[in-house]
């Protein structure tokens, strides 16, 4: 693997990462608005930078989304998850306190990287708790309903995908799914369950997924792209 970080006009910091395992060029935008580009080791740097330029408008939109998300958290703001209400306020230190289904968070400086990292840690912790309580049970229910079986299920804070299914039918689920509406959570769970029988994304896979999602698989897949694995 090779890594190279450069500054590009309008975009800012971009890290290029060549990897022998990569088959396609992929672009991801991080919460600090930096950009990571992974690409096959045999691809030329020129072709990769040209790919980035062709997707510049998309990158700028994602960076704008992250900037807008930072504005969600401010003094007296309220953030709701599946089971919790999170109240934010200014304080002398970064601190979080839970009282039943409410979490009270004080933040020294809502614009600082340190405070954002603290907020991310708090919200991720809430998502983790909810995901552990909700996702395995829901996966089991859907598996029984549609005739699938799997071995183990794990919940992780994954920055690469919403879920995965191994060759041994062990399913990994991303705790960040908890920010999604229930219909998209079910879609991802069903997606991974279909992979217990079909280990690719060919026509047979989509035909089966379409069958169990009310002929709505492609539309649901498109909706998931509105969400990020980052906070």
Question: In which domain, by residue range, is 62 found?
Answer: 2-70
Give the pLDDT confidence of 27-62 residue by residue, as tens digits.
888 767 788 898 998 888 889 989 999 999 988 888
State mean pLDDT over 84-91: 96
- 66 and 12 in a common domain: yes
Q: Which residues have CB under 8 Å from 36's CB, separation 6+?
A: 14, 15, 17, 27, 28, 29, 30
Q: What is the pTM of this model?
A: 0.74
Are 62 and 148 found together in one domain? no
pLDDT-above-90 percentage for the chain:
61
Per mean pLDDT, which range of 55-59, 111-115, 219-223 is the poorest? Answer: 111-115
- pLDDT higher than threshold 70 for residue 68: no
Residue 2 is predicted with a pLDDT of 64
**230 falls within a domain:** no
Which pLDDT score is estimated for 67? Answer: 64
Q: Count the Cβ atoms, other than its own, within 10 Å of residue 4.
A: 12
Instruction: Answer whether residue 131 shows pLDDT above 60.
Output: yes
Residue 181: exposed, middle, or buried by beta-carbon count in 10 A (0-12, 13-18, 19+)? exposed
Predicted local distance difference test score (pLDDT) of residue 13: 86
Q: Is 107 helix (H, G, I), strand (E, B) or coil?
A: strand
Same domain, 94 and 159: no
200: phi then psi, degrees, rounded to nearest 5? -150, 180
Q: Give the chain's domain count.
A: 3
């Amino acid at each position: 693997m090779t890594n190279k970080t450069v500054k590009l006009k309008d975009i800012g910091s971009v890290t290029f990462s060549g990897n022998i395992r990569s088959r396609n060029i992929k672009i991801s935008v991080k919460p600090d608005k930096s950009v990571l580009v992974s690409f096959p080791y045999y691809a030329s740097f020129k072709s990769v930078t040209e790919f980035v330029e062709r997707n510049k408008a998309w990158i700028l939109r994602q960076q704008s989304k992250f900037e807008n998300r930072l504005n969600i958290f401010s003094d007296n703001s309220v953030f709701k998850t599946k089971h919790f209400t999170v109240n934010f306020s200014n304080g002398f230190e970064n601190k979080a306190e839970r009282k039943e289904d409410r979490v009270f968070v004080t933040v020294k400086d809502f614009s600082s990287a340190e405070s954002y990292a603290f907020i991310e840690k708090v919200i991720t912790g809430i998502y983790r708790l909810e995901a552990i309580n909700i996702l395995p049970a829901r996966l089991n229910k859907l598996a029984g309903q549609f005739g699938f079986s799997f071995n183990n299920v794990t919940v992780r804070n994954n920055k690469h995908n919403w879920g995965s299914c191994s060759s041994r039918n062990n399913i990994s689920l991303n705790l960040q799914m908890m920010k999604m509406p229930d219909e998209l959570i079910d879609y991802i769970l069903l997606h991974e369950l279909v992979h217990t029988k079909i280990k690719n994304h060919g026509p047979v896979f989509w035909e089966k997924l379409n069958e169990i999602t009310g002929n709505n698989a492609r539309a649901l897949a498109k909706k998931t792209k509105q969400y990020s694995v980052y906070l």
